[in-house]
Amino acid sequence: MSTLQFLMDGFSVAFQWQNILFAFVGVLIGTAVGVLPGIGPMSGVALLIPVTATLTAGLPTEAAAASSIILLAGVYYGAMYGGSTTSILLNTPGESSSVVTTLDGYQMAKNGRAGSALSIAAIGSFTAGIVSLLGLVLLAKPLSNVALQFGPAEYFSLMLLGLAAVSGLAGKSMTKALMMTVFGLMLGTIGIDAVSGIARFTYDIPVLYSGLEFLTIAVGLFALGEVFKTVLERDHEDGTMAKIGRILPTKQDMKDSTAPILRGSFLGFFIGVLPGAGATLASFFSYIAEKKISKTPEKFGTGQIAGVAGPESANNAASGGAMIPLLTLGIPGSGTTAILMGAFIMYNIQPGPLLFEDHPQVAWGLIASMFVGNLMLLVLNMPLVKVFAKIIQTPKKYLLPIIIAISFFGVYAVQYTTFDLYLLLACGVLGYLLTKNDFPVAPLVLALVLGPMLENNMRRALTISNGDFSTFITNPISLALLIVAGAWLLVPLLLKMKGRSVVLNEEG
């Protein structure tokens, strides 16, 4: 079957009434999640995994997985759309990838052009979504065919690259990111060993034999962690919201933003494909590129529409690009895709090269639903900009109890154990303490998801080679992946050391 035929089959899944409804609910909640400062796509997706599991309980496994993933992916790219609203109106980024949008977006709003900024962000996001989806359609099948040639040694090295990429680029300190990665790998070893059947780190507590549930830890670290932060730091203040006048952009706005939107879309897509790079890096690169290209770079930061169009397109394209390594290689490139991977595994579906062979209904249904979802987002965002802006003003005293209730009911509905509720609370406190001290939690979640697979592939590779560790470096593909993983960790370190030596020389 051709890629076009697979895509048509995907649309037949995406156009089922329940999947259209799930896509709509996903992008609607995603936009709200993006609009609400502090929640972000990771917390939103983690929070809704147990909800989708409950909603799809009566469906066959394959159909339930397709519907759940369609809704969760809708939340992911919907949150990327919504994140620009608070950046432009309140000078408060809805999530980290919208930080750059505040630089010119808020200035435009102060100059009475909030409507133009919001509509250009929506148009740029839609264009970027379509560009990244076309890339996903064209690259998904060829990449998965290449990945089918991978053996256990190549998979081990590939997963090591995924961990190194996120550790190398997450947070301000690489050391802290690596510590979080190791902590996640350690948590992943709790439970009965799949190969030997021996209980590890369970301390004769029966509930630990099945290991720690990924869902409980993800919801605790992200959603409850944010709740604790808001409560303990008394973060109740609301910014002053700029007024929205004309919503549709002028002809000049469209002319000034067309090239930045296209550049941001392609740049964001290719950065999103790289494991660990993510939407935040894409939006920063796009802003820097637009400033370099501009004939008037000094005007950036005073309300240039290119400073909104480029980064907003880039961060949305990156979210589509990040789906490629997840679906084709089974390597989540960001914290949110790591949580999505956990959702796949909950339904006994392993993302990776065999996904397109064994579960085409889920893989192509998801891709087709993203086309539908992006169209829904454009239709929702343009006329309802003022409505979504009102969500920003939701008092925290109403919002926080809702998040806590969804967290506890959701986890209990999936796990049915009080142990998981205690673990949820503990992870909430831990999430708050970690983020307060600049320890990134995304590497921990990624390591928890990848850890068991990393270990299994290493053991399989060593079994095949009779315990010879050289199998990881004698295999060309495995060696290349290990070199890239090493470079991903070492290059930022070397650049930092070089920067310090330059500063010392100047001071000397």
**Residue-level pLDDT at 454:** 87
Strand partners, 191: 200
CB 30 within 8 A of CB 81: yes
Among 228, 212, 221, 224, CA closest to 406: 224
- Mean pLDDT by groups of 10 residues along the chain of 508 residues: 79 89 90 70 81 80 86 85 74 65 78 80 86 83 71 85 70 81 92 85 89 81 82 64 63 82 87 68 79 79 82 84 82 78 85 82 88 85 67 69 78 80 93 89 80 87 91 91 87 74 58
User: Can you tell me the distance from the alpha carbon of 332 to that of 322, in angstroms, rounded to the nearest whole number?
Assistant: 7
DSSP output for 177-226: HHHHHHHHHHHHT-EE-TTT--EES-TT-GGGTT---HHHHHHIIIIIHH
For residue 455, the tally of other CB atoms under 10 A from its CB is: 18
**Residue-level pLDDT at 433:** 94
Among 311, 341, 247, CA closest to 83: 311
- In this structure, is the dihedral angle defined by the CA atoms of residues 390, 393, 398 and 400, taken in order, positive or negative? positive
**Residue-level pLDDT at 434:** 92
Interior CA angle at 323 toward 317 and 328, to 5°? 140
User: Can you tell me the distance from the alpha carbon of 205 to that of 455, in angstroms, rounded to the nearest whole number?
Assistant: 23
User: Can you tell me the distance from the alpha carbon of 426 to that of 224, in angstroms, rounded to the nearest whole number?
Assistant: 10
**Four-CA torsion 429, 235, 99, 124, nearest 10 degrees:** 100
User: Can you tell me the distance from the alpha carbon of 77 to that of 2, in angstroms, rounded to the nearest whole number?
Assistant: 27
**Residue-level pLDDT at 169:** 52
CB 362 within 8 A of CB 341: no
Query: What is the DSSP code (8-state) at residue 239?
Result: P
User: Can you tell me the distance from the alpha carbon of 430 to that of 407, in angstroms, rounded to the nearest whole number?
Assistant: 16
**Residue-level pLDDT at 59:** 78
Among 188, 184, 178, CA closest to 431: 184
Q: What is the pTM of this model?
A: 0.69
**Four-CA torsion 13, 371, 348, 477, nearest 10 degrees:** 130
Query: What is the DSSP code (8-state) at residue 235?
Result: -
**Residue ranges covered by each domain of the chain:** 3-235+244-496
Q: How many Cα atoms within 13 Å fall on the side-chain side of residue 493?
A: 12
**Residue-level pLDDT at 124:** 87
> How far is residue 88 from each of residues 102, 108, 274, 329, measured CA to CA in Å?
6, 8, 28, 36
Tokens read off for 382:
């343009």
User: Can you tell me the distance from the alpha carbon of 158 to that of 480, in angstroms, rounded to the nearest whole number?
Assistant: 10
Give the max Cα distance, the chain: 71
Report the Cα 119 to chain-centroid distance in Å: 23
Q: Residue 230: CB partners within 8 Å, gap ≥ 6?
A: 38, 236, 396, 400
**Residue-level pLDDT at 508:** 56
Tokens read off for 430:
């831990």
